[in-house]
Structures are given as structure tokens and as C-alpha cells.
A and B are shown apart, each in its own frame.
Chain A
């Protein structure tokens, strides 16, 4: 290629913003990992819930996941994208001001999340728990990021976009789409809202979002980072340009369809489940395309694996990526899903990806970036190597313990005696069996955290020993205006707008085909379906269920599998959740399914169980919810809640809306009376526990005819 008007310029990159994002990454990685260790300990040893409203498992777990994804990975992605894009485009970032708005805005969002989640302000949708004001802030900051990024693309001095940038583009476009669609919600008050979708719709949208958050927040940006930092660190050319093209487009087009593999054997229409499964299988090769391109780029540099911790981290990360993207399609096969779903196998699978792939990519990138940005040497290569091994052992301990725990429990749930009965009918037996593995997992997490602390110390010493840094001039050659006639993909790489539109279309196809039909919910309900919506008190209880994060340990979705029918009753139907804003099907059964728990036990049983589950099930690992017996229910807000739900189509009469609080108080009195009559304490009618009991007793009781 020959540049006709080649232009030499001296420019400055904005490395200050990269440093800021790196420091934020280090701070929030600490928070995310510490919260992870805490929730792991809570599952191994329930007293770690500390009887605290703010620190119980159901509230800390969203804090852990949100901190890990959006704070730790998020800040690292921004650091890497801003650093590598400037160099790949030979241009300073579009706007220093927008960069700072992006940085401080994002940190403010994280702090808001860290405060509101323990307080119980939650949507009840996994990985999208943050309430509506924060959702709006995320949208705004994401737009700032997009403008800043595309603005930089516009003023680039390089004609073509390198493959890393393709992945960044896909990330920015798709995350915006996912977030906006999944967060569509109607506010009730400053920190409470209901999603506009209900039941199977909400499930479909949520897992389209949830799965593709993994795809476009934890995969595509990291592939982009891999394509920049791995060849840089190894000083080797990328293995195959052709492979980059094929696996990029295949990945972006296919990934978006795979969401329903989180909903196999649920009441989601079967055609959508089947689509989710077959697209997951087709996703295997495109994912491995990225792994191959990464690993084969290291050809000729394998000797570095022994000496260079950065290469150790990168090579291992790419290998974990390969493992996780093989395991994913495997888990999407219906028969495998029937064993693995709701178990710790999924938790292991996720952490193979997050600890092994995302974490190790980030660590490698930080060891690469910090000495270069601060213009010094790494303080200690030995410590970095020690970090690698502790982190590696931690990840292996985590992964193996969870896979074994998951498969063990999954098989125990299904095991039958020769006379056609459940082998382990008592749920708690399947929990105590895997408890030792919960300890191993917590130990793995502690190792991983310890390794991370070694890195913090190492980087701290590195930065402390660095000279005062002054921005450095960089000489670049403008090669944007070349005259060569280009066809095919090479032409596309010079046309940002066309490239971005095509990427958008690629993710749009699968999204529309899967989501659009479920918006017409009624097509999927039998015409005879008659379901009563929740009473106001039950709704109040449901909102407590969401606030406490019960859905993180309990499912409400009985699968059409014989062993589930024997254990929990007839399979859940689409109509049973048709008024559920949001759906609460759950994705993990640390405790038993609750879809039909209504009327199974007397009110007093629930009262005692909620305050201390050990009274009823001595080996239970469920937290105590003592504050439910002392906090008062907010009856008045129920009118507003009912009117919002009515506007969204729940068939409430005007009287039910106008007098929601009165109806609720009446029902609360009845339940309080029954508690007292059964031997419980008196004076509970205004307490939250009564609302919770009302909700639990309503589960599975709302369809006119319980399906057979």
C-alpha cells in the first residue's frame, strides 16, 4: 500500500484517562472479589449472613455480580479500548471532556449500585438488578462512550480498522440495544419500578439480555483486547486475517440467538427453546475461531510462556475461553441441560469464563500496560508469576468443585428407585451432600483474591518507583487517504458507517425473530386460561421476595420432567406467570422450587421458617429473615403499584386499585389472626412477614384449574 499524501504529524495520546480506568479497575476488582468470597462463605456456612438485612446472601450476590461485570470488567474494558484504539487509529481520543464524563459517570453509577443493592433496591432480573434511575444513567454514559469512540474513529489517521476495533464496535452497539430493551420499565416510586414485560415475555427478553451480556460485555470486548495485546506482548503477527473475518461475523450473527438455552424445559414456547439450543451448538466453531487465532499467534513465541507472566496469563485465558465455549454448547443440549440447569455446574461454567478468561486477560493486560504507561519496569516478575499460579489454582479449585457439586446434585434430584419413587425425596439431603464442595469453592475464591492482592502490591510498587511522567509526543504518519481500489471485506474495513450498520443488522435479525412473537403473549395461552392476579398483600410480599433476592436461591418453574413432577407437582404453565412483572423463574436451586409451595404448609410454619429455617430443617443453609417480623409493610404505596400494573394490562378493577391498601390490611389481619390461632405471636398484622406469607401461600394457587 502506498500513501499518496503521506503526512507526518506529532500528536499526544490521552494516557491519563487510561490510567484512571486502570486504577478504578484495581479498586473495584477488590470489591467484586471480596464480595464473591463473602457469598461463597455464606453458602458454605450460613451464619456468615450475619443476620444482617444488608449483607444477606440475596442482597450481596447481585452486588458481587454487578461489581464483577460492570465495575471490574467494565473499567478494564474501557482502559483497554481507550488505550488500544488511540494507537490503532493513530488519533487522540475524540474529546477529553467526554472521556472524563465517561469515567466519573461510570464510577458514580458503580457507587450508586454499591449503595442501592444492599438496601434491597432491585429489579429482580439477574445482571440487570439496578433500579430505573441508575438504568437511565447507564444509558446516558454509554452514549457518551459511543460518541467518544465513534468520534475517534471519525478522526483516525489509519484507513482501515483492525479486527480489535470490529469487536469494540459490536460491543458498543449491542450492549446499548440489550440494555435499553431489557430495562423498559415503569416507575412506581424513586427506587421501584415494574418491567413492562411479564411471564414468558419477560423471561425471553431477560435471557436474551443475560446471555448476550456475556456475549457482548464479557466476550467481544475481550476478544478485541486479545487481538491487540496478545500479538503485542508476544511480538508475533496474528495467525489468520481470514479467520478473523469469518469468526467475527459468525460470532456476532449467531451469538444473539442463543439466549433461550437458559430456558430449556420451561414454559417458554418450544420453538424458541429449540432455536436457542441449535444456535448454541452452531456457536461452538465461531468461538473456537477466536481461540485458534489467539493460540496460533503464539507460534514461535512459546518459549515466552516459561519466562513471561504476561504470556502465561494470555495463553491460559485463551485456553479457558476455549473450554468455556465448548462447555456452553454442551450445556445447551437439552438432555445435558436437564441435569445441569439450576445446579452449581452453571456457576462453575460461568466462573471458568470470568475467572479464567476475563480475569486473566485483564491481569495480563495490566501487567503489560502499567509499566509502559508509567514508563518504568515491573517491580517484580517473580511476584507476577506467583500471582499467576495462585490465580490458576484458585480457578481450578473453583471450577472443579462446582462442576462436581452440580453434576452430583443434578443426578441426585433425578435419581429414582426401581419402584418408581425419588431416591432422595428430601431436598436438604442433596444440599448437605455438596456442602464440603462449597468449602473448596470458597477456598478457591480466597486463593484467587490472594493472587489479586499480590498484583495490587506489585503494581503499587511499580507505580511508586516510576519517574514523574510527562506526556510524550508520538510521531504518526497519516495513511488515511490511500487511493487503492478495494473490494470485499477490505473495503468494509475502511467504511465505519457501513460496517457498524451491518453489525447492527447482524444482531438485529436473531433478536427480532425470537422476541417479537412472544410479545403477543396471548397466542401462547390456552383460550380457557383463567388466572387470578395477585391480591395487594400478595403483591407486597412478592416485592419483598424480589427485594431479598430469594430468586437467587429458589426457582419458580417446574420443568416437565418426571422427577420434577414427583418432587414439586405438575409442570409450570405459561399462564401461571402471565401477570408476573418481573418473572421470577430463577436460574439456581440452592433451595427447592417454590412454584407450588402455596398451601403446602400452615402459615405458622412459614413464620418460623422465615425467622430461622433451622427450626424446621436443622441442616438448612437458608439465611434468617428476622427483620421481616419487625419492619412494617408500606400499605399506601400499593395503590400506586396496582395502578401501574393495571395500566400494563393486569385486569384489576378501579375499586381494587383505589382501595388496594384497605384490601391488603384486611387480608393481613386475617393472616395475623391465623398465626395467633396456631400458636404464634400476636400483633403481626402490619409486619412484612405477613405479606411474605400471603405471597408464599399464593404460589401455584392462582390458576383456576391447576393443570394436570
Chain B
């Protein structure tokens, strides 16, 4: 084989295996040195050169996010806005599905109450049972009492759909309702 003649070779022979002694490929050496130089720079930049640490980077990002959230409050929905949605069968059915997936485990599939209170009766622990009240409690939850905060887990649209769905079941008298909790709200 012709190429063998110009490649530098060694006299090594191990169980029939011979070894050439080709020079290191230049591109390989360049890569190796480049990574070493990069590594030193990176190390010095972050350890001694005042490169931003993870905490600092996080607080910068969080400040930006808070600004964004501040500029776009979660919901400016008024009672009227929500009322407009309350007639839509499509939205109510969306809310129904979501309720089955997220809420039924605590409030029961018929909203009759299990861990959480019955949501169909006239008694409310929080607020007056208005649409905005329901939306608010779904959003912020009562973490100490076992009602999760859903704002971080659901989209605005989803919270709206849940709100109108819950309101639509008022007075539906499910079987085996949980005993009333909170205050009776006359309306």
C-alpha cells in the first residue's frame, strides 16, 4: 500500500499489531488548545473577573418578570366581563372538563364537596359568591387550608372557564352534599 511508505512508522509489534507514528492532526491540536484557552478565560472571568453569579442573574431575570407581570395584571375582568361568558355552552363545557381534571379530587365530580367545600350551596367561606369572588379564590387559593393556588398552574382562559362553570352549578343539589361551610349568602 503506497500510503504506508510515506507515513513514519515505529518498530513496535504487539501480537502482530504495528503502529505508525503519524503527527497529530493540526486541526485537532488547534481544537485542544482553543478549548484550554477558553477554559482559562471562562474560569478567570467567573471566579475573579466579576462575572455575574447565578443569584445575581436570577434576581435580574425575576425583576424583569415582575415588571412584565405588573404591566399585565393577571385579570382585569369585571363582573360584567365574566357575565358575558357565562352564557356560552362551549366555555362552560371547557370548564367542566378542567374541573374534572383539576378540582374534582377535592370538591367532588358533582361539586358536592370532599376535602374542599360544597360549591353548589349558598354558603361561601370566601367572598359573596360573585363571579369575581370565585375567580379570585381560584387564582390565589388558600394554601394553608389546602386549596391550591391555581394562578401559577392555569392560564387566564382556563380560570375564566372554571369560574363560569362553578357558578353555573349553583343550586344543582348534588347527592351526598358536604355539610355547609362558611356564611350563608342571601341573594
Contact = CB atoms under 8 A, between A and B. Distances in A.
B150 to A, nearest CB: 9
B38 to A, nearest CB: 6
Interface in B73-103: 74, 100-101
A238 B47 contact: no
A239 B20 contact: yes
A11 interface: no
A285 B1 contact: no
Interface residues of A, number: 71
A284 B166 CA distance: 58
A677 to B, nearest CB: 10
Interface residues of B, number: 61
Contacts of B14: 88, 158, 160, 162
B16 interface: yes
B171 interface: no
A238 B64 CA distance: 57
Query: SS class of chain B's interface: helix, strand, loop or mixed?
Result: helix
A270 B9 contact: no
Given A158-B14, A567-B152, A277 B42 contact: yes
B35 A270 contact: no
Given A1-B11, A240-B24, A418-B68, A274 B42 contact: yes
A240 B23 contact: yes
Contacts of A494: none
Contacts of B18: 237-238
A167 interface: no
B154 A425 contact: yes
Contacts of B42: 274, 277-278, 281
Contacts of A281: 35, 38-39, 42
Contacts of A421: 69, 74
Contacts of B15: 84, 87-88, 90, 232
A243 interface: yes
A292 B101 CA distance: 54
Nearest to A240: B22
Contact of B28 (A285, A329, A618, A679): A285
B19 A237 contact: yes
A560 B105 contact: no
Contacts of A277: 42
B25 A678 contact: no
Interface in B9-65: 9-12, 14-25, 28, 31-32, 35-36, 38-40, 42-43, 46-47, 53-55, 57-58, 61-62, 64-65
A619 B100 CA distance: 12
A420 B152 contact: no
30 contacts: A88-B14, A158-B14, A160-B14, A162-B17, A231-B17, A232-B16, A232-B17, A238-B19, A240-B21, A242-B21, A243-B24, A270-B46, A274-B42, A281-B38, A282-B32, A285-B31, A285-B32, A300-B3, A300-B4, A416-B65, A419-B69, A560-B57, A561-B61, A562-B62, A599-B143, A601-B148, A604-B115, A618-B100, A618-B101, A679-B114
Instruction: Return the 8 tightest CB-CB contacts between A and B, nearest first.
Output: A420-B68, A419-B72, A285-B32, A278-B39, A602-B146, A237-B18, A240-B22, A562-B61
Interface of B: 1, 3-4, 9-12, 14-25, 28, 31-32, 35-36, 38-40, 42-43, 46-47, 53-55, 57-58, 61-62, 64-69, 71-72, 74, 100-101, 105-106, 114-115, 143-144, 146, 148, 152-155
Interface of A: 1, 84, 87-88, 90, 158, 160, 162, 228, 231-232, 237-244, 246, 250, 265, 270-271, 274-275, 277-279, 281-282, 284-286, 288-289, 292, 296, 299-300, 329, 416, 418-422, 425-426, 560-562, 565-567, 571, 599-602, 604-605, 608-609, 615-619, 678-679
